[in-house]
């Protein structure tokens, strides 16, 4: 998505910003996405507001894929998943409604950017002319992030990458069954892992640190209600899989930040910390 903003963007910086985002979100929910934009903007010397705009679009894409993944879960389940999980159908209808609304809003903002900018300037100018100019600049850079998908090559890359991510999530869930020998207690396959993955992922919608608690409740619910596992093994599965990812995110975020700062020091560039990235840069004031 950022290819249209800066074609030669560093893959190390992209990866590093994502891992820092995960690490921060394990402590303070949702704050990680903000730090992702702040760090990447600083590292690449591009507008942090534009980066955050692409993250907003990315989140809409993520929710859309998880919604469709849930529909796949309904189709591959041997029984009626809507009967097993009564709230699932309502949640999906609400989710697709939100997706439609969000997409329409983004498209309108991109299409009628000048009109919205003019309205913002007129309203904010009543408070301060200087403030209205800054608000207009902020709005324009945000819209640049919203409109980062420029061609079909970008669309194809996003679709292919998102599908690969979903399959890897499901594979991660599937491996968890074997870690606790749950495959000996019941007939679990990749389809079961897909269903557990999609339903438990709804826990990420609840703003808890790293999905703490919300993931556990939903994972245990699916394993016990849908697949008949006992509460003890289901709880052990939820705790173990969450603990591994939680620790991995925290440790990797610290290590990647340390590594990237070392690389910057070798190039004569200043190190960036969780405090330094809060300061505005030239690219954000343009």
Q: Quickly list DSSP for the chain.
A: -GGGT-TT--HHHHHHHHHHHHHHHTTSTTHHHHHHHHHHHHHHTS-HHHHHHHHHHHHHHHHHHHHHHHHHHHHHSSS-HHHHSTTHHHHHHHHHHHHHHHHHHHHHHHHTHHHHHHHHHHHHHTT-HHHHHHHHHHHHHHHHHHT---SHHHHHHHHHHHHHHHHHHHHHHHHHHHHTTGGGTS---HHHHHHHHHHHGGGGGS--GGGTTHHHHHHHHHHHHTT---HHHHHHHHHHHHHHHHHHHHHHHHHHHHHHHHHHHHTTPPP--TTGGGS--HHHH-
* The pLDDT of residue 188: 84
Q: Is residue 221 part of a domain?
A: yes
* The pLDDT of residue 281: 65
Q: Is residue 57 part of a domain?
A: yes
* The pLDDT of residue 137: 81
Give me the domain span that covers residue 41.
2-281
Q: Is residue 151 part of a domain?
A: yes
Contacts of 212 (CB under 8 A, 6+ apart): 242, 246
Domain count of the chain?
Answer: 1
Q: Is residue 17 part of a domain?
A: yes
Contacts of 259 (CB under 8 A, 6+ apart): 16
Q: Is residue 108 part of a domain?
A: yes
Q: Is residue 16 part of a domain?
A: yes
Q: Is residue 286 part of a domain?
A: no
* The pLDDT of residue 282: 59
Contact indicator for 284, 51 with CB cutoff of 8 Å: no
Contact indicator for 222, 161 with CB cutoff of 8 Å: no
- Burial of 10 by CB count in 10 Å (0-12 exposed, 13-18 middle, 19+ buried)? middle
Q: Is residue 114 part of a domain?
A: yes
Nearest to 46 by CA among 262, 284, 206: 284
Report mean pLDDT in 10-residue bins for the chain, 286 residues.
Answer: 86 94 92 93 91 90 91 92 92 92 89 83 78 80 82 88 93 91 82 93 85 92 92 94 93 95 92 88 57
């Amino acid at each position: 998505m950022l290819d249209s903003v800066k074609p030669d963007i560093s893959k190390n910086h992209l990866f590093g910003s994502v891992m820092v985002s995960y690490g921060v979100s394990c402590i303070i929910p949702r704050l990680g996405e903000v730090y992702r934009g702040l760090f990447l903007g600083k590292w690449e010397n591009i507008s942090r507001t534009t980066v955050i705009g692409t993250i907003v679009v990315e989140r809409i894409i993520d929710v859309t894929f998880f919604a469709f993944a849930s529909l796949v879960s309904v189709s591959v389940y041997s029984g009626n998943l809507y009967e097993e999980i009564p709230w699932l159908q309502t949640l999906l209808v609400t989710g697709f409604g939100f997706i439609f609304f969000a997409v329409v809003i983004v498209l309108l903002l991109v299409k009628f950017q000048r009109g919205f900018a003019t309205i913002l300037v007129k309203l904010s100018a009543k408070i301060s002319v200087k403030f209205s100019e800054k608000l207009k600049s902020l709005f324009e850079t945000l819209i640049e992030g919203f409109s980062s998908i420029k061609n079909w090559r970008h669309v194809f890359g996003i679709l292919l990458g998102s599908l690969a991510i979903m399959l890897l999530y499901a594979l991660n869930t599937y491996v968890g069954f074997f870690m606790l020998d749950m495959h000996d207690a019941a007939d679990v396959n990749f389809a079961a892992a897909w269903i557990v993955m999609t339903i438990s992922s709804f826990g990420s919608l609840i703003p808890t640190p790293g999905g703490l608690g919300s993931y556990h409740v939903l994972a245990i619910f699916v394993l016990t209600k849908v697949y008949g596992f006992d509460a003890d093994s289901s709880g052990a599965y939820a705790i173990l899989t969450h603990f591994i990812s939680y620790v991995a995110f925290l440790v990797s975020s610290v290590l990647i930040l340390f590594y990237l700062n070392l690389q910057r020091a070798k190039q004569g560039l200043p190190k960036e910390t969780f405090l330094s990235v809060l300061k505005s840069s030239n690219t954000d004031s343009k």
